Amino acid sequence: MARASEFDLIGRYLADRGARRRDVVLGVGDDAAILAGDDRPLLMALDTLVEGVHFPADLPAGWVGHRALAVNLSDIAAMGGEPCWALLGLTLPEADEAWVRAFADGLEALARRHAVALVGGDVTRGPLSISVQVAGHGNGPVLRRAGAAVGDRVWVSGRPGDAMGGLAVWQDPTQRDRRQWRGLQRAFIAPRPRVALGQALAGIASAAIDVSDGLVADAGHIARSSGVAIALQATACRPSARLRHWLGDTAARQTLLAGGDDYELCFTAPAAADAAVLQAARASRTPVRCIGAVSAGAGVWLDGEALTADTAGYRHFSD
Ligand SMILES: Nc1ncnc2c1ncn2[C@@H]1O[C@H](COP(=O)(O)OP(=O)(O)O)[C@@H](O)[C@H]1O
Ligand SMILES: Cc1ncc(C[n+]2csc(CCOP(=O)(O)OP(=O)(O)O)c2C)c(N)n1
Ligand SMILES: [Mg+2]
């Protein structure tokens, strides 16, 4: 029997647990939970980073701190929200002061940039792992994975695939220090959560998700939640020149589709909103491009071909 994926475990055992509360607007199943606040909706998200799984053991502590917050801000960004507060759960093998100082400095630099306060947490001993919970507000309509409609366009920000290319560069000691791969490495080491873009898209986009597991896998979550198919156009899914240089055309395309760790936003919007989407991108200084359209049916397609197994995206329990 196939091993359960993390999504199977969540769906079978973890969704809809606990009390039924009327102030839970949206529970398990989106990038963040939506809770009814006094005036604006409250958003809450949590992601964990494990050494060797989510970041290489030799990644400098400052970048681990940046990453731990960035992946959570990215979830709030995908809801079109404004992040405000963070809680930090830090599990350390030893009380290494230099490591913790550098980690905290990296986290703080990003937190200040986004006006987020670290308001609590927990420190324990054990194998290195970091959990961050971020809470914030929805401003205007909250973006969800559900909402994409047939005829909408599909968009993505930034250069998906570059981060996974950058991780491979980092892991190759013969290539790591070469200047030509610096941009790729930055895409992995210092993901920039698209908070301003997400907020600018609230009220314009019909659905949104942040790309952590891979573009096809995460577009697939929009498709499933919205009850539609997503048809990607191969010519629009062109990897960056630097990724093609690093991997060659074929592997670069595969990495763009399935690599993951991008922390870009994938979103849908009605065709009539093209100008508004481009204006939101300009206002937030974030590059976006249209990569396909929403159609009737299910799943994610590339030029008419269904995308499945080899583009399924990152799975924690695949072996
Ligand atoms: N241990 C858990 N208990 C309850 N809900 C969970 C758990 N793990 C994940 N979820 C929820 O399942 C959904 C999918 O999780 P995940 O794939 O990690 O989302 P994301 O990529 O946005 O971090 C999210 O809504 C998340 O909050
Ligand atoms: C050392 C290392 N190996 C592999 C990866 C690739 N990787 C690990 S987890 C992951 C997917 C995202 O992590 P997940 O815990 O699923 O985040 P979420 O979807 O919950 O935001 C990817 C692409 C990495 N980041 N670091
Ligand atoms: Mg998660």
Domain identity same for 112 and 209 = no
Q: 28 CB under 6 A from ligand 1? A: yes
Domain identity same for 212 and 286 = yes
Q: Establish if 148 belongs to a structural domain.
A: no
Question: What pLDDT, in 10s, does the model give residues 32-61?
Answer: 999 999 999 999 999 999 999 999 999 999
Q: How many CA atoms lie within 13 A of 198 on its CB side?
A: 31
Q: 115 CB under 6 A from ligand 1? A: no
Rounded Cα gap, residues 160 and 269, in angstroms = 19
Report CA 287 to chain centroid distance, whole Å: 16
- Give the list of residues 6+ apart from residue 166 with CB closer than 8 angstroms, or none: 181, 184, 185, 186, 187, 188, 189
| Gap from CA of 255 to ligand 2 centroid (Å) | 14
* Domain boundary pick from 138, 167, 196: 138
Q: Which of 28, 267, 317 to mutate to test the pocket of ligand 1 (most atoms within 8 A of CB)?
A: 28
Closest atom of ligand 1 to 213 CA is: 21
Looking up residue 212, the CATH number of its domain turns out to be 3.90.650.10
* Domain boundary pick from 76, 104, 138: 138
- DSSP letters along 116-128, please? -EEEEEEEEESS-
54 annotated to bind ligand: yes
Provide the pLDDT for residue 318: 74
Question: What pLDDT, in 10s, does the model give residues 186-236?
Answer: 999 999 999 999 999 999 999 999 999 999 999 999 999 999 999 999 999
Mean pLDDT across 304-309: 84
pLDDT at 1 over 60: no
Q: Sorting pLDDT into bands at 50, 70 and 90, what band is 312?
A: low
Question: What pLDDT, in 10s, does the model give residues 62-116?
Answer: 999 999 999 999 999 999 999 999 999 999 999 999 999 999 999 999 999 999 9
Q: 14 CB under 6 A from ligand 1? A: yes
Q: Establish if 255 belongs to a structural domain.
A: yes
Q: Which of 7, 9, 10 to mutate to test the pocket of ligand 1 (most atoms within 8 A of CB)?
A: 10
Closest atom of ligand 2 to 52 CA is: 1
Question: What pLDDT, in 10s, does the model give residues 138-184?
Answer: 988 999 999 999 999 999 999 999 999 999 999 999 999 999 999 99
Backbone angles phi, psi at 123, to 5 degrees: -125, 130
Q: Sorting pLDDT into bands at 50, 70 and 90, what band is 311?
A: low
Q: Which helix (H) or strand (E) holds 136?
A: strand 129-138
| Gap from CA of 46 to ligand 3 centroid (Å) | 6
Q: Can you list the alpha helix ranges (DSSP code H) found in the chain?
A: 6-9, 61-78, 97-113, 162-170, 182-189, 195-201, 215-226, 241-247, 249-258, 274-283
Provide the pLDDT for residue 168: 98
Question: What pLDDT, in 10s, does the model give residues 118-127?
Answer: 999 999 999 9
Ligand nearest to the CA of 7: 1
Domain identity same for 171 and 240 = yes
Q: Sorting pLDDT into bands at 50, 70 and 90, what band is 287?
A: very high
Domain identity same for 111 and 186 = no
Q: Can you list the alpha helix ranges (DSSP code H) found in 144-228?
A: 162-170, 182-189, 195-201, 215-226
pLDDT at 314 over 90: no
Q: Establish if 166 belongs to a structural domain.
A: yes
Query: What single-letter DSSP state applies at residue 188?
Result: H
Closest atom of ligand 2 to 259 CA is: 23
Q: Establish if 316 belongs to a structural domain.
A: no
Provide the pLDDT for residue 3: 81
Rounded Cα gap, residues 52 and 54, in angstroms = 6
pLDDT at 309 over 70: no
Give the gyration radius of the chain's Cα atoms: 19
- Give the list of residues 6+ apart from residue 221 with CB closer than 8 angstroms, or none: 145, 209
Range of the domain at 184: 153-311
